[in-house]
A and B are shown apart, each in its own frame.
Chain A
Amino acid sequence: MNIIESSHLTKTYGDFAAVSDIHLHIPGGKVYGFLGPNGAGKSTTMKMLLGLTKPTRGTFVIDGKKYPENRMEILGEVGSLIESPAFYGNLSGEENLEIVRRILGLPKSAVSEALEIVGMTPYRKRLAGKYSLGMKQRLGLASALIGRPPILILDEPTNGLDPVGIHEIRALIRSLPQQFGCTVLISSHLLSEMERMADSIGILNHGRLLFEGTLQELKQRAGAQGFPTENLEDSFLSLIEADNRQTGGMR
């Protein structure tokens, strides 16, 4: 069953279509990878799903709650990390999460649990402004995970992490559906990352959804269209290039 569904979701800025008429079907309890080159519209779509940007057209339903009527209820169920991590630099990691906890009305233990999950407990008293990029990213993840929300929207959460950190966060994200029963929508422009994490993927290019399905289905489609199938990255690149040729890179 799909936990997130969008219909004709579109965002335009003047003549420029950042996201164009997309229909998403994100199954519950899975990791859904949102894949596309830089500027494909991944972040804009995620922002629309969080109500941070108003769609020009179209609507979506998250866990049976329709946007825009139930925006606040949707936000209560979704933990998010969009673009760069957002935090109060003058507060410690723990104090940052304490503010989020208060707003969400969660028990006090939620803060230490979230810090523990992302491995930030030893640094909880340090000012967030003094964190390294990787630590900021982990704090952002902790503030998304606090209270174990049923849905997580993560925009390139491994940005700024070192290889060990990337591996740890990947393993964490991969385990979230089993551990907490949540659905994860994660974006990346790296297919290799998605291969390791996602159960199904959506490929965006120039604001349009080119493909939605499992990695196996992507392989089959690439094969059917005469694209290379030995390597998923090649299949992905061929799909994008074919679309660019077809549309001339226009939106």
Chain B
Amino acid sequence: MSVFPECKKMKRTGFFPALLLGGLFSAMVPVLNMAFRSELYTGQGKPPVRILLDANWQMMAMLNILLVLVGTCILYHTEYENHAIGKMAALPIRRGRLFVDKFLLMAAACIVILALEAAAVGFCSFRWFPLPEGFHGLILELLQNFGYFLLLMMPAMLLSLFIASVCENMWISLGIGVICVFTATMLPSGNFAWSLFPYALLFQIPKSLPAHTAGKLLLAVPIEIGAIGIAGALFANIRRRFT
């Protein structure tokens, strides 16, 4: 796999600045929340990372999902805008591979976003809370939580990328994505089946869920990733059959 051409294609599209600024903006949410009303959270008696995520993650997850939508739309918009995808199709490279490379680039960008957010949550824990398990325990807690978030983000990433690959008009894929995000926010929160909707997954905090629910969730997500990923790559490869 070579993600280099995909990185190069994103030059001057605003992809990297948009995701970086969006990530910074999202990372500011817990910092500002604590800066202005820390007294609401410091006396709760729970682990600091848990308190911070319970208080801020819904907003951060919403921003993350919107960044995923914007990122995936830009990734395919550059292909369709001047029909560059036509040139790619005439080169010895499978469209399925383009899909996978774009996913890898998007996943790398999401790792950076989540790292910024993890750093912000870590900073807030360090600055406003006592750390009974020490700095090492804090890092471990952050890695676990944000590792889960990366996993939960992937189905939405893949589905958005799939939609963006199908729709030549970026506004259609963006519109579908926004509708899906708002649908996700309206789904009943206690229902496990609904929680598997790709755009609803990221709003959950596995470490705050009952152990058996979190276990089922973390088992279902890789299956979802595999299914959407294979569907996206396969569709990309067979698309020419419909033209």
> A-side binding surface: helix, strand, loop or mixed?
mixed
Q: Is the CB of B9 within 8 A of A99?
A: yes
The answer to whether the Cβ of A133 comes within 8 Å of any Cβ in the partner chain is no
Which segment, of A30-38, A49-57, A192-200, A239-247, faces chain B? A49-57
How far apart sit A102 and B8, CA to CA, in the bound complex (Å)?
Answer: 11
Contact of A52 among B4, B9, B12, B243 (CB under 8 A): B243
Q: Is the CB of B91 within 8 A of A100?
A: yes
Q: Is the CB of B9 within 8 A of A75?
A: no
Which residues, 66 to 103 on B, are CB-close (under 8 Å) to A?
78, 81-94
The answer to whether the Cβ of A249 comes within 8 Å of any Cβ in the partner chain is no
Q: Is the CB of B83 within 8 A of A91?
A: no
How far apart sit A143 and B86, CA to CA, in the bound complex (Å)?
Answer: 12
How far apart sit A73 and B9, CA to CA, in the bound complex (Å)?
Answer: 25
Contact of B91 among A95, A103, A127, A129 (CB under 8 A): A103
A51-B240, A54-B240, A129-B82 given; A86·B11 CB < 8 A: no
Which segment, of A76-84, A176-184, A217-225, faces chain B? A76-84
How far apart sit A128 and B241, CA to CA, in the bound complex (Å)?
Answer: 30
Q: Is the CB of A88 within 8 A of B90?
A: no
Contacts of A86 in B (CB 8 A): 82-87
Which residues, 10 to 29 on B, are CB-close (under 8 Å) to A?
11-13
The answer to whether the Cβ of B210 comes within 8 Å of any Cβ in the partner chain is no
- Min CB distance B9 to A, Å, is 6
Q: Is the CB of A103 within 8 A of B82?
A: no
Of residues B4, B84, B88, which shows the largest number of chain A Cβ atoms within 10 Å of its Cβ?
B84
Point out residues on B near A: beta carbons under 8 Å: 2, 4-5, 8-9, 11-13, 78, 81-94, 240-241, 243
- For the complex with contacts A91-B9, A102-B4, 17 further pairs of A-B residues with Cβ separation under 8 Å are A50-B89, A51-B240, A52-B86, A73-B92, A75-B90, A75-B91, A83-B86, A86-B83, A87-B87, A90-B12, A90-B13, A95-B11, A98-B8, A99-B5, A99-B8, A102-B2, A127-B12
